[in-house]
Amino acid sequence: MDKEFIEIHTKNGKPTGEKLLKSKIHKEGLFHATVHLWIFCCKDEILIQKRSKNKKINPGIWDVSVAGHIKYQEDFIDAVIRESIEETGVLINKNKLKKIGVFFNEEIYNNFIDREFHHTYIYNAERNKINLDFKNSEVDQLKFITYNEMKYLINNSNEYFIGSNKNYYKCVLEAINTSI
C-alpha cells in the first residue's frame, strides 16, 4: 500500500503546502515535483539505468541516472542524495551538484496522468565510485553510454528515455557537454 506523501504544486510549479499520497496525486493528475540527476564521468561515460520490470510505470525502459519524487517537506538536495543512493548506490557530494533547471513533463497513462516538474541536476562523478553491478527492486541494470550514443538514442529510440520531451534531454546533453 502506498504510504508516500508528496506535495501538491500549482500549474506554475509552486508548492501549495498541501500533501497527498503519491498514488492519489497520480490518479487525480495533480502537479508535483520530482528530482532528476544525471551522473557522468566524462563525455564517453553518462550513466543510465534500466527501470525494473516490476515497476508499474515504464518497466524495463532505460532512462535518466536517477529520478524520484520529493517527499513531503523534503529538501530538493536531500531528495537528490537519497534517490542517488537508492537507485545507483552512488553517494554524491552536494557541493558538486549543478542544477540545470526545472522542466515540466506530462505523461498520460491508462489509469492516471503524471504531471511533474523535474528539478534537474548534473553530477560529475569519479568512475571508481560507480558500481555497474548495482541493482535493486527499482533498478535492473546500470550502464554507461557516450554523449553521441545518448544523442542518437534520444532522437531514434523508443526503448530509451521516458517521455516525449526531447528538448529536456537536449538541455541535459548540452549541460553535460559544457561541464566536461
CATH at 67: 3.90.79.10
Tell me the pLDDT tens digit for each residue of 40-90: 998 889 999 999 999 888 888 888 999 999 999 999 999 999 999 999 999
Neighbour tally for 94: CB within 10 Å:
12
Domain count, the chain: 1
User: With pLDDT > 70 as the criterion, what percentage of the chain qualifies?
Assistant: 95
CA 79, 160, 44, 98 dihedral sign is negative
CA geometry: angle at 167 spanning 29 and 94, to 5°? 80
Residue 83 in contact with residue 49, Cβ under 8 Å? no
Tell me the pLDDT tens digit for each residue of 161-171: 665 678 888 89
Residue 75 pLDDT: 95
Q: Is the pLDDT of residue 108 over 60?
A: yes
- Show the domain range for 101: 5-179
Cα distances from 87 to residues 5, 10, 66, 125, in angstroms, run 19, 28, 6, 15
Residue 163 pLDDT: 59
Q: Is the pLDDT of residue 1 over 50?
A: no
Q: Which of 17-21, 144-148, 157-161 has the lowest mean pLDDT?
A: 157-161
**37 secondary structure, DSSP code:** E
> Which positions ≥6 away from 119 have C-beta within 8 Å?
33, 34, 35, 36, 70, 76, 99, 102
